[in-house]
Structure 1
């Protein structure tokens, strides 16, 4: 199979246009068209349906595109491993984690990592969807459960619990609840139980909702819940890791919390020797260790 033709086919399928693929490949439209025709003739099949609005893959084209996509991901992995250096850390690192953890804990700590490795390029993907690491949809993941995918190296980082928090100004104005029944006179801020989130968080919210709550505000991520709480809108359900960076948060009903949520870092087995992943892994674990030491040294309130 001609690798150049496959490379051109992949670019056309990805762009959906001969012209756009040609611009990417620095080839003329006619040259791209000739290579696609030659590939179709060699396979004795049609790879694209031609439409006025662009090119659409045929069933056979979809099969070939899946194969070239997998090939490209494996090549990216090989190039990353080859370029990784013991002395230098550079290149792109695709990190996926939840919106809450990424925005409330990880992002604000990344400046320290960039200070040490200024040539590192991090693509931070914040979403609740679990990306396929073996298929290289991301290089490394931090997730609120142990990954179930095969061929992954897993490292348990810490545990998290969802708890109730408010700011003192809100409590001064509305009173501090001393029991779950007292929540009925307050506004509860939380994620909707139907939103994608850790099971423990949803379970805690469902339990709270069994009590008569006067008013609620639901947000689809913990960043929004935190902003609402900080602005004095009510009592919010938040992960406990937010308290170090927001000491103005006051815990409410200290006997109310979710079950323990394990936090894992994972990456593909084939990237075991990646220097970029090693420095990221070591950075995250060191930040967590430092946080634990600070919390241990804090006086009891």
Structure 2
């Protein structure tokens, strides 16, 4: 089977359009169309249903697209391993983590990784969906629970607890709650119940809501919760790792917190020898070690 025709077929199937595929491939629409027709003739099968809004894969087309998708991922993996055989740390590194951890902790520290490896090209994918690392949707992940996927190297980085925080200005205006019953007279800022979040955080919020909180602001990620707190809107449910970078926040009700949430770093077994992965792993571990030292120093004061 002609590899070039398969490459063009894969682009068309992914784009759903001859024109868009041609733009990606740098080919004219007519050239792409000829290659698709030739592939269909060689297979004696129709690969696309054609209609006014674009192209839809037939059953035979779906089978072929599954195969070319798997081939593409395997080629990406091979390419990554070949690049990692070089002595220098460079090239693309696709990192996935949650919106909260990525925007509030990781991205604030990446400048130190770039200072050491200026040729790295990091693609930071912030989403709650767990990407498939063995299928190379990402190279490395930092998740708020132990990954369940097979063929992954995983390392526990630290534990996080959700606690209550407010700005000094808000507490000066609204007063400091002394007991959980006092929460009812404050505005609670938290992740919305319908958003994907760690179960420990959701459980804490559910418990707080039993105190008949009069006003709430719900957001679908911790970045939004933090902005609400910094804007003096109320008391927020936030991860404790924020206190290192936002020391002016005041913890409210010191005995109220969630169960510990484990934070794991994971990457595919096939990238065990990757220098880019090793550089990122060592960077994260170094930053967490510094974070822990800071917390111990603060606790001793």
Question: What TM bracket, shorter-length normalisation?
Answer: over 0.9
2:98 aligned with 1:121, yes or no?
no
Q: How does 1:173-184 map to 2 (within 5 A)?
A: 173-184=173-184
Question: Which digits, 9 at most, give the CA deviation of each residue in 1:123-154, with x for residues without a partner?
Answer: 11111111111111111110000001111110
1:51-200 to 2 correspondences below 5 Å: 51-200=51-200
2:35 is aligned to 35
Provide Cα deviations, 1:45-96, integer angstroms capped at 9, x if missing partner.
1001122332221111011111101111110110111011453111111111
Aligned mates of 2:106, 2:217 — CA distance in 1: 25
Cα distance between partner residues in 1 of 2:267 and 2:216: 38
Distance 2:236 2:15 in 1: 45
**Cα deviation digits, residues 77-120 of structure 1 (max 9, x gap):** 10111011453111111111101000000011011111111111
CA distance in 2, matches of 1:187, 1:94: 38
Give the alignment of 1:18-33 within 5 angstroms: 18-33=18-33
What's the counterpart of residue 50 of structure 1? Answer: 50
User: Is 2:256 the partner of 1:256?
Assistant: yes
| Aligned partner of residue 196 in structure 1, secondary structure | coil
Distance in structure 1 (CA, Å) of the matches to 2:232 and 2:99: 22
Cα deviation for residue 299 of structure 1 reads 5.6
Distance of aligned partners of 1:293 and 1:300 in 2 relative to their CA distance in 1, 3 Å threshold:
closer
* Compared CA separation, residues 225 and 23, structure 1 to 2 (3 A): closer
For structure 1, which runs of at least 5 residues remain unmatched after alignment? none
2: distance between equivalents of 1:169 and 1:30? 65
In structure 2, the CA distance between the partners of 1:181 and 1:14, relative to structure 1 (3 Å rule), is: same
Corresponding residue number in structure 1 for 2:296? 296
Q: 1:223-258: CA deviations, max 9, x gaps?
A: 111111112111110000000000001111111100
Cα distance, 1:19 vs. partner?
Answer: 3.1
Counterparts in 2 of 1:254 and 1:299: CA distance versus 1, 3 Å: closer
Unaligned 5+ residue runs, structure 2?
none
In terms of mean alpha carbon deviation, does 182-191 or 34-43 score higher?
34-43
Which residue in the other structure is 2:224 paired with?
224
Check if 1:202 corresponds to 2:202. yes
Per-residue deviation, 1:29: 3.3
2:280 alignment partner in structure 1:
280
Q: CA deviation at 1:27?
A: 3.2
With the length of structure 1 as denominator, give the TM-score of the two structures: 0.96
Displacement, 1:26? 3.2
Q: Following TM superposition, by how much is the alpha carbon of 1:167 offset from its aligned partner in structure 2, in angstroms? A: 1.5
**Secondary structure at the counterpart of residue 11 of structure 1:** helix
